[in-house]
């Protein structure tokens, strides 16, 4: 069998997706990952680099991949003892299994000549990152709607849903990003939190420190300045719906500021937990590690009606550590969407919004 190696330039196609049990999977495919040796990698053996940096596969896999030429340096097959140097090109030819996402469609809210807005589903990353390439908002819009090119104006975390704005041209993207940098944009989110949130406006001015290695933010003086304004919309005594207006834009800012108030997002496994989550040793994101480590008794599948009715075949690769599974090893956690939703973005002369999510109505 002749292997066809895809690259980042290979566009996704609607046939690439498989729907099972309320999840959208990507049919495994052959892919060439290209990276360049970082300074912290220099002086290590090629096997040590992969075993230390990419923990989703066992060390034995990387040894075998180097020996058979699926890991190359500067387009050359090298021995497992080869020591890498800074800036060298490293290629990893692998059978790629992308993590599943919830099987929501991505509704287009507004489509103009230079702007496209959509309602992003939770669990889907905005653009290619980490193990995700086709299972992204951009990938799905290209594959299923033929919409291309797209330039993200802002980003939403993978588990966050709601309004997502794309520019259709590079010039429009630059214009909107300049407005963001000048502080001319106003953002509004809605969250469902634990307990009875205080009435009236509550302003949290607390520095946020993001630990990129562990994927978790904390309130610390060494962090970056962060301000969020909160206003309770409703409550049923158990949960409250809260309007969130972040003045700054730090990673996980709303989530950690709500935790700081004593009213964390009611299904936020990462910030509900008092236990530290060490995602760096698990080879997965902090949110998924938290979900895996904590009780999942309140987790449930949210999607129905889009599952495929037949069994789809995909190529089984004898060297792949994820085959014969459809998804990658360790990504079988039943995640649900975070109860945090982007409602509205507005600028000097424009405003776009998304509908409220179902969970924002309290009974």
pLDDT tens for residues 217-244? 999 999 999 999 999 999 999 999 999 9
Looking at residue 50, the DSSP 8-state letter turns out to be: H
Q: Are the beta carbons of 73 and 89 closer than 8 angstroms?
A: yes
- Over residues 173-230, the pLDDT tens digits come to 999 989 988 889 999 999 999 999 999 999 999 999 999 888 899 999 999 999 999 9
pLDDT at 280: 47
Q: Binning pLDDT at 50, 70 and 90, where does residue 287 land?
A: confident
- Over residues 294-345, the pLDDT tens digits come to 544 444 444 444 655 454 678 899 989 899 999 998 777 777 889 999 999 9
Q: How far apart are CA 106 and CA 196, in angstroms?
A: 32
Active site residue 157: yes
At residue 83, the 3 state secondary structure works out as strand
Q: How far apart are CA 93 and CA 36, in angstroms?
A: 14
Pairing of strands 161-167, 340-346: parallel
- The percent of the chain in helix, strand and coil, each rounded to the nearest 5, is 20, 30, 50
Contacts of 137 (CB under 8 A, 6+ apart): 106, 118, 120, 124, 125, 126, 127, 164
Virtual torsion, Cα 58, 62, 67, 72, nearest 10 deg: 170
Q: How far apart are CA 217 and CA 117, in angstroms?
A: 28
- Over residues 51-69, the pLDDT tens digits come to 999 887 899 999 999 999 9
**Average confidence score pLDDT of the chain:** 89
pLDDT at 294: 52
pLDDT at 278: 55
Element (DSSP H or E) covering residue 162: strand 161-167
pLDDT at 302: 46
Q: How far apart are CA 362 and CA 350, in angstroms?
A: 31
pLDDT at 214: 87
Q: Which of 157, 194, 287, 317 is catalytic?
A: 157
Section 148-170 average pLDDT: 94
At residue 24, the 3 state secondary structure works out as strand
pLDDT at 296: 44
pLDDT at 129: 87
Write down the architecture of domain 29-96 according to CATH.
Roll (3.10)
Classify residue 222 by burial, with Cβ atoms within 10 Å: 0-12, 13-18, 19+: exposed
Q: How far apart are CA 27 and CA 29, in angstroms?
A: 6
Write down the architecture of domain 101-296+335-360 according to CATH.
2-Layer Sandwich (3.30)
Domain boundaries, the chain: 29-96, 101-296+335-360
The count of other CB atoms within 10 Å of the CB of residue 60 is: 11
pLDDT at 3: 84
Classify residue 347 by burial, with Cβ atoms within 10 Å: 0-12, 13-18, 19+: middle
- Over residues 70-87, the pLDDT tens digits come to 999 999 999 999 999 999
- Structure token pair of residue 221: 């003086």
Section 107-113 average pLDDT: 95
Q: How many residues in the chain? A: 363
The pTM of the full predicted model, rounded to 2 decimals, is 0.86
Bridge partners, residue 353, by sequence: 344
Section 339-360 average pLDDT: 96
pLDDT at 15: 94
pLDDT at 307: 59
Q: How far apart are CA 303 and CA 269, in angstroms?
A: 20
Question: In this predicted model, which residue has the larger pLDDT, 275 or 66?
Answer: 66
């Amino acid at each position: 069998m002749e292997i066809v190696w895809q690259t980042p330039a290979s566009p996704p196609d609607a046939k690439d997706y498989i729907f099972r049990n309320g999840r959208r999977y990507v049919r495994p495919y052959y892919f060439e990952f290209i990276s360049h040796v970082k300074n912290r990698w220099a002086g290590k053996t090629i096997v040590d680099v992969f075993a230390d940096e990419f923990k989703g596969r066992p060390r034995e896999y990387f040894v075998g991949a180097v020996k058979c030429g699926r890991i190359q340096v500067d387009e050359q097959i090298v021995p497992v003892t080869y020591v890498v140097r800074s800036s060298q090109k490293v290629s990893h030819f692998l059978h790629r299994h992308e993590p599943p996402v919830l099987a929501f469609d991505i509704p287009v809210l507004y489509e103009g000549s230079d702007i496209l807005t959509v309602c992003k589903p939770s669990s889907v990353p905005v653009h290619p990152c980490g193990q995700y390439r086709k299972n992204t908002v951009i990938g799905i819009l290209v594959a299923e709607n033929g919409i291309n090119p797209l330039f993200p104006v802002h980003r939403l975390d993978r588990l966050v849903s709601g309004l997502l704005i794309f520019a259709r041209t590079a010039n429009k993207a630059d214009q909107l990003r300049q407005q963001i940098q000048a502080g001319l944009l106003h953002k509004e989110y809605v969250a469902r939190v634990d307990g009875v949130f205080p009435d009236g406006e509550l302003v949290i001015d607390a520095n946020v420190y993001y630990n990129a290695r562990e994927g978790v933010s904390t309130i610390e003086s060494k962090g970056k300045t962060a301000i969020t304004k909160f206003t309770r919309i409703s409550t049923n005594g158990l949960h409250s719906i809260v309007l969130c207006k972040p003045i700054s834009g730090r990673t996980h800012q709303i989530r950690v500021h709500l935790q700081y108030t004593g009213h964390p997002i009611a299904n936020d496994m990462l910030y509900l937990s008092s236990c530290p989550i060490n995602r760096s040793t698990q080879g997965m994101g902090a949110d998924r590690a938290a979900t895996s480590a904590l009780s999942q008794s309140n987790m449930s599948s949210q999607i129905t009606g889009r599952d495929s009715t037949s069994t789809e075949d995909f190529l089984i690769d004898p060297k792949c550590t994820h085959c014969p599974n459809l998804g990658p090893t360790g990504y079988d956690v039943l995640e649900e969407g975070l109860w945090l939703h982007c409602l509205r973005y507005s600028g000097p002369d424009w405003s776009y919004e998304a509908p409220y999510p179902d969970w924002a109505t309290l009974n």
